[in-house]
Structures are given as C-alpha cells and as structure tokens.
Amino acid sequence: MFRALSNIRRLVHAARVLAAHDALVPHEYLGTMPFSVRVMRRVLGTRETDAEGVAAGVRLSRALESLGPAYIKLGQVLATRPDLIGEDVALALETLQDRLPPFPTAVAEAEVEAALRKPLPDLFSSFGDAVAAASIAQVHEAQTTDDSARRVAVKVLRPSIEQQFAEDLSAFAFAAKLAERFSAEARRLRLSAVVDTLATSVALELDLRMEAAAASELRENTKTDEDFRVPDVDWDRTAERVMTAEWIDGVSVRDPAALAAAGHHPGRIAVVVVRSFLAQALRDGFFHADMHQGNLFVDADGRLVAVDFGIMGRLDPDMRRFLAETLNGFLNRDYMRVAQVHYDAGFVPRTHPIETFAQALRAIGEPIFGRSAQDMSMGRLLQQLFETTRRFDMALQPQLVLLQKTMMVVEGVARALDPEFDIWAASRPVVERWMVQSVGPEARLRDAAEGIEALSRAAQHLPQLLRDAESISQMLAEGGLRLHPETMRHFAEVQIRRAKHIRIAIWLAAAALALLAISALLIR
C-alpha cells in the first residue's frame, strides 16, 4: 500500500513538471484529444504560452532533464523507440543533455575512501575538483601515489543515486503495468519491457566495475588499431562506486579550430571516427554506443581517444554478417541481394514476395544515392530500412536499433568536423574488408576447415557410438531395453520428489483460493 502511494505521489509530481513544459499532452495533439484530457491538462497546470515556437520533442527533453537522472535515462531509452513516441520526438531526445551540477569534492573524497577502503592520501597525492558531472557520476582529475606517479581520471557515483533510481524505476514500472491493464495499445507497445530495458541499463551503469570491464574489453579489441585507443583502467583503484583510468591529454573533437591549430586535420579525424565505429561493430561485435563529441578526444599522436564506457552495444556474429551484407548491398545498389539477406536471416516472412521487398528497398536506396555526399546518411538509411521492414512484418531488432542510433551520432560528429564529409566513401573500405574476411573465399575455406575439424572430433567417438547402437539393437531383439538398477532407483527418487512438489503446489493453490474467498466476504 505504502509503495503504491509513494509511486502515485512521484508520478503526480512528474506529471505536473511535464505539464508545466506542455510535454504531457502537447497542444499540437489537442485536436484528437477528448474533453476529459483537456480538463486534465488545465488541472495539472499546463502553460501553452511558454511552449510557443518550441517543438514538442524539445519540450519533452527539457522536462526530463529537470526531473533528474532516472528521467534522463528514460529519455535516452525512448530515443531508441521511434515506434513508440514518433520519429520527430525520438530525434529531439537524442540531444538530451546528461549534465547536472557537481556535488562537493569533499563528498567525492569520502565516497572514494569508503569504496576503496583506504585513506585518500594512500591512493592519490592530489585530488582535484570535478571536471565533468552527469546524472549518475562525476569525474575528478587526480595523481596516484605510485613511485611512477600517474595522472588519472577518477569517476565517482553520486551519493544515494541507487536509492533515487530504485524509487523512480518503481514508479515507472507501476505506471507501465497500470497502463497495460487498461490499454490494449500499451500492451502492444510493451511498456513494461521498455522499463525493464531501462532498469537493466541502469543496473550496469551503477556498477562502475562493469564500465571498467567494458573499457578493458574495447582496449583489448582495438590495441592494434593505429588511429584509435582506449584509456588504460587502474584496477587497483576501481570498485563498484569508483572507477580510475588513465588521464587523457587531448583536444576535444567538438572544436575543429583547436584540432587544426594542434596540427590535426579535422577531415581526417572525421574519417577515423566513422571507421573506428564501424570496425568495432563489424569486426569485434562490441562498440562504444555513446560516441558524442564530449566523449572523443585527439591525442598528440593524432589518435582518436574515447572515454565514458557506460553505454556499449553488442552484435552477435549472425547480426554482424547481416549488417555487413546489407550495407554492402546498398553500397553496390544490389537491392535483390539485400532482400535475400533479410529472408535468409528469417527477419522477413516468406509470405511476402521477395521481388516486392526488393522494390521497397530500391525506394529507400535510390533517393539517397541521388544526393550529394553531405546529404547522404547511413544512419538515415538504416532508419528508413527498419521502417520499411516493419511494414513487411520484421520484428524490431534491439541490437540494430542501438547501432543505428549510434550511427546517427557518429555521422553528426563527422559532419561537424567536415561539412563535406562523404559517409559512404569513408565506410566502404571497412565494410568491404569485413566482407572479404568473413564472407569471401578465405572465410569459406576457414569455415570448411572448422567443419572438418568438428567431424574429426566426432569420428573419434564413432567406435563407441557403434558399440552402443549394437547393444541397444541386441536388447530390443531380446525383448526390450534393460536399465541399470541404480538408474531405476534414480528415476524412482525423481518421481517421488515430483509428486511431493505437485502436492505442495496443490496446497498453495488451495490456500490462495481460500484467501481470495475470505477477501471477497470481507469486501461484502
């Protein structure tokens, strides 16, 4: 009861904040709303005059920012669900700013000591004020006490952030279940699944050891890349609520003029940004999914350096092959091949003629290739592809949606560095290299060799399999299979335990029915 009341209180507060921004029931949609909804808008305090000239998605973004960390994360999840909130609102939420005022340095120092179970002077000879602060954590520059002292970045979770998220997530789940109980549309959109996705994402971000592991894995994957690197994690100074990593001295990619002044050509950096992302996605199946300008720097050697590994994406081998063959098909304007890839993956039911699907793909590709380089967008291509495939009954693929959203951000970074950037020219070498390595003749020979090796391992067990088959055949000829006494005893024990469990289940069900009957009598 108290939990429900707390959830309702938090939801009412959120509704008032959303209404104050005209983001709960935007005035643009009033024409389709019943009278009761209009009354509710007024009761909650909607101010339409403050919303004039500001798009509904932008108003929603601002409202979520003002509501705090959990709502910012909710907005980031909703940005990946254009089917739920519409393309225009999803696009606006992609610019959601995850910035909050920092908490005091003294509090951060206490958090570090508690997490690492050592006095701060034993860990760091200096510990500066916050250099960046977001909804979940903030970052401090520090110097280690090692013999070879190192400058490091120390990420510290906000105090009590876990409890705050738990309370807001409880309210989200309550609202989703309530909506699904009374609305068929809410059930179709699987609102509870959206909340579950958010909860899973937040659980990972609230354990900085997981972020450290992601950084370590990405560093391992890209250690031979000449133009990209990942900071080294200091595991001795990393725990659940604190993460320490190598400090990066570099120029932010958000400042093309500063890059040029430091001797780095912004156009080359733009190419590196896109190719690094595609290499991570296709070659490794593990990619940085938050590659915005604030997380990317260029070091003195001209290498792109990424930070902040709280949001990562994965693609399994089948999905990577699907993506590469799809992109390669579009690059070569082979729409029948792209269609065949979708059918082979089982994404599009064969009840739809493949020729019709290929025609729909052509309607996506041809307008894009008819544009100038700066107007061509791989992210937009993937977005239109997903919209089209939904019309052909293709289910939403979460792995690909996250990749498409990241692709949009990466393209934006590249175009800010070079307005004439050609996404297709930059992408083609990475896609074609992956195709040769994973789908070409060498890959087929490698797959064949692995198949032969598997057959060889199976052949080693063939004599025993033949002897077992001969024994079973002989027993069948003599009147049936004979089981070992120990096997029979084991079967009997299993049956006894199963019967016991069934009896317990029956008693529990009877008790539940009794409680329901008593409740009904009390209500009367």
Tokens of 41: 């808008």
User: What is the rounded distance in angstroms from the CA atom of residue 250 to the CA atom of residue 266?
Assistant: 14
DSSP string, 224-249: T-SSEE-PPB-GGG--SSEEEEEPP-
With contact defined as beta carbons under 8 Å apart, do 154 and 140 qualify? yes
User: What is the rounded distance in angstroms from the CA atom of residue 423 to the CA atom of residue 99?
Assistant: 30
Which residue type, as a one-letter code, is found at position 283? R
DSSP string, 43-58: HHT--GGGGTTS-HHH
Of the candidates 420, 409, 29, 423, the one whose C-alpha atom is nearest the C-alpha of residue 253 is 409
Of the candidates 221, 360, 330, the one whose C-alpha atom is nearest the C-alpha of residue 284 is 221
With contact defined as beta carbons under 8 Å apart, do 417 and 267 qualify? yes
User: What is the rounded distance in angstroms from the CA atom of residue 342 to the CA atom of residue 154?
Assistant: 45
Q: Burial, 27: exposed, middle or buried (Cβ in 10 Å; 0-12, 13-18, 19+)? A: middle
User: What is the rounded distance in angstroms from the CA atom of residue 524 to the CA atom of residue 519?
Assistant: 9
With contact defined as beta carbons under 8 Å apart, do 159 and 111 qualify? yes
User: What is the rounded distance in angstroms from the CA atom of residue 94 to the CA atom of residue 217?
Assistant: 26
DSSP string, 263-306: T--HHHHHHHHHHHHHHIIIIISEEES---GGGEEE-TTS-EEE
User: What is the rounded distance in angstroms from the CA atom of residue 330 to the CA atom of residue 336?
Assistant: 10
Which residue type, as a one-letter code, is found at position 67? L
CA distances to 115, 141, 162, 316, 410 from 132, rounded to whole Å, are 20, 10, 20, 33, 21
Of the candidates 213, 247, 235, the one whose C-alpha atom is nearest the C-alpha of residue 140 is 247
Tokens of 151: 């400058």
Task: Please say if 290 is a catalytic residue.
Answer: yes
User: What is the rounded distance in angstroms from the CA atom of residue 104 to the CA atom of residue 274?
Assistant: 37
Report the sign of the C-alpha dihedral through residues 511, 513, 514, 516, in that order. Answer: positive
User: What is the rounded distance in angstroms from the CA atom of residue 305 to the CA atom of residue 229?
Assistant: 5
Tokens of 374: 């700066």
- 22, 98, 168, 290: the catalytic one is 290
Of the candidates 388, 404, 398, the one whose C-alpha atom is nearest the C-alpha of residue 348 is 388
Give catalytic residue positions: 290
